[in-house]
Structure 1
Amino acid sequence: MDVTISPSILNCDIANLASEIEKVRNADYAHVDVMDNHFVPNLSWGLPVVEAVIRQDILPVDAHLMIEDADRWAPAYAEVGCDSVTFHAEAAVAPIRLAREIRRQGAKVGMALRPATDITPYIDLLPEIDMLLVMTVEPGFGGQSFLKSMMPKIRRTRDAISAANLQVAVQVDGGINRETICLAAEAGANVFVAGSAVYKAEDAYSEVEALRQLAKTHC
């Protein structure tokens, strides 16, 4: 599958939203982290900021919902125009029904797993989603160190997808930079969320291109 780069705006200057997204206009998505201070111990932003990013019409929005009661709230993010909506398996009571509702609203469906959550119970759900997000840090805060211990999990996920002959993307989020993107790509990931590495770079546009090329070649 094609390499996809999705910079997280968690590390951008939200007061200058349009110019910050314009810096990464060569990316595939703008990744928006929604945190409710319940599912994770941090509070970011919600639907109004997501709608503001969509209104810029610079990049499609990849929304990552780190929120409780995903069954209730996730479809609204698809309804307002997110291209992709990712909910956490741990926060969904009826993940299949939720996935189908998100898709009915016109968005692609992502399902995320915390580092300690095993992929095995969710393998049968893979046909219902477009993307499986393997968190490579504990969700809730940007700037954390990449968990190399997640590489076997990424491999198991990619193997399960291949065995079922599915076109499901594998996303990684957390600690992605020029070194770690190589490890994740080699393990089987093809969608990469990078926050600090992009927005703290001297040239965010060039950093997106550098990360893309490294992922394509597995370094």
Structure 2
Amino acid sequence: MTREIIIAPSILAANFARLGEEIAAVDTAGADWIHCDVMDGHFVPNISFGADVIKAIRPFTRKTFDVHLMIAPVDPYIEAFAKAGADIITVHAEAGPHLDRSLQAIGALGKKAGVSLCPATPEAAIEYVLDRIDLILVMTVNPGFGGQSFLDAQIEKIRRIRSMIGDRPIRVEVDGGITCDNAAAVAAAGADTLVAGSAVFRGNDSADYARNIAAIRLAAEAGRVPSLQDISTQPARGADKALTP
């Protein structure tokens, strides 16, 4: 299933001294979602912000709040983030022993459920919860810090996850080191939702952010265009119907 490209700027790269203004700026600049990276200094080696900050910035946009919980344990905090204004709540497969229960809790609160996989975690970890998932987030860096370099080995994982999903209406999101230079490759592998922090919040204002978002989107969309070689190996239009009795 081909789905439209979503660009979700990560506010981890925004200027925290004027966070509300930064969110309004990327909203105006064409962001589809707002990605909120929550870190606890335990599951990942950094501390960012919690549910109270999500609640405080929620009024600055009507765009989808894509909340990525890099915390463990995660279950005790799901309800707080749901009440704070999260639309999508993504938990890590590695953050607790009962992933199915965590996903049920998110759904029971009326929110969309996501699962994130660290670079070393195989896609088999989510095989038996696919029917509870709205989004799969593939970490293309080791979680904990912004500004890291993209891990090329994750492209094959994205491809395998896309195949595993089949016809399910699940989005495949990528987060970590996403730029114009690799957006085409991740989109070609099957990602349809791109988180970008430093690559979006480069510049001084909404006009700069708009150019950055547009460039990433253009690169991703170009990556989804079949190559001439792919087209040449496809059967002619209607050829499959000719074989059908």
Instruction: Normalising by structure 1, report the TM-score.
Output: 0.95
Q: Is the 8 A contact 1:9 1:30 kept in 2?
A: yes
Match of 2:40 in 1: 36
Percent of matched pairs sharing the same residue: 43
Partner of 2:20 in structure 1? Answer: 18
Inter-partner Cα distance in structure 2 for 1:108 and 1:139: 22
Instruction: Give the stretch that moved more between structures: 202-211 or 86-95.
Output: 202-211
| Equivalent of 1:112 in 116, 129, 149 | 116
Q: Which amino acid aligns with 1:180?
A: N
1:144 to 145, 148, 153: 148
Asked which structure has the greater CA Rg, the reply is 2
TM-score, structure 2 as length reference: 0.85
What amino acid maps onto 2:220 in structure 1?
A
| Contact 2:42–2:72, Cα closer than 8 Å, also in 1 | yes
Q: Which moved more, 1:19-28 or 1:140-149?
A: 19-28
1:73 is aligned to 77
Displacement after TM superposition at 1:14 (Å): 1.4
Return 5+ residue gaps in structure 2 as ranges.
Answer: 225-245
Q: Partners of 2:203 and 2:158 in 1: how far apart?
A: 27
Q: Alpha-carbon deviation of 1:201?
A: 4.0
Amino acid corresponding to residue 223 of structure 2 in structure 1: H
Aligned-residue RMSD, C-alpha: 1.3
Listed one character per residue, the Cα deviations across residues 115-152 of structure 1 (whole Å, up to 9, x for unaligned) are: 00001131121111100111000000000000001011
The alpha carbon displacement at 1:207 in A equals 1.1
- 2:173 equivalent in structure 1: 171
Equivalent pair of 2:202/2:212 in contact (CA under 8 Å): no
Give matches, 1:50-199, under 5 Å: 50-162=54-166, 165-199=167-201
Instruction: Give 2:216's aligned residue.
Output: 211
Tell me by how many angstroms 1:61 deviates.
Answer: 0.9
Return the alpha-carbon distance in structure 2 between the equivalents of residues 146 and 109 of structure 1.
Answer: 25
- d(CA) in 2 for partners of 1:12 and 1:65? 18
Deviations 1:3-27 (A, max 9, x none): 1110001111112122211221111
Deviation at 1:198, TM superposition (A): 0.5
Q: Which structure 1 residue ranges, 5 or more long, are not aligned?
A: none
Q: How many residues align?
A: 217
Which residue identity lines up with residue 118 of structure 2 in the other structure?
R
Aligned residues of 1:10 and 1:195 also touching (Cα < 8 A): yes
How many angstroms does 1:81 deviate by? 2.0
How many Å apart are 1:76 and its aligned residue? 2.1
Residues 49 and 77 (structure 1), Cα distance of their counterparts in 2 relative to 1, 3 Å cut? same
Tell me if structure 2 keeps the 8 A contact 1:71–1:95: no
**Once structures 1 and 2 are overlaid, which stretch shifts more, 90-99 or 39-48?**
90-99
* Separation of aligned partners in 1, 2:156 and 2:79: 31
3-state SS of paired residue (1:143): coil
Partner-residue secondary structure (3-state), 2:126: helix
Kindly state the Cα deviation for residue 92 of structure 1 after the two structures are TM-superposed: 2.4
**Runs of 4+ more than 6 Å apart:** none
- Contact 1:100–1:128 (CA<8 Å) still a contact in 2? yes
CA distance, structure 2, for counterparts of residue 151 and residue 2 of structure 1: 19
- Between 1:43-52 and 1:197-206, the stretch displaced more is 197-206
- d(CA) in 1 for partners of 2:84 and 2:18? 22
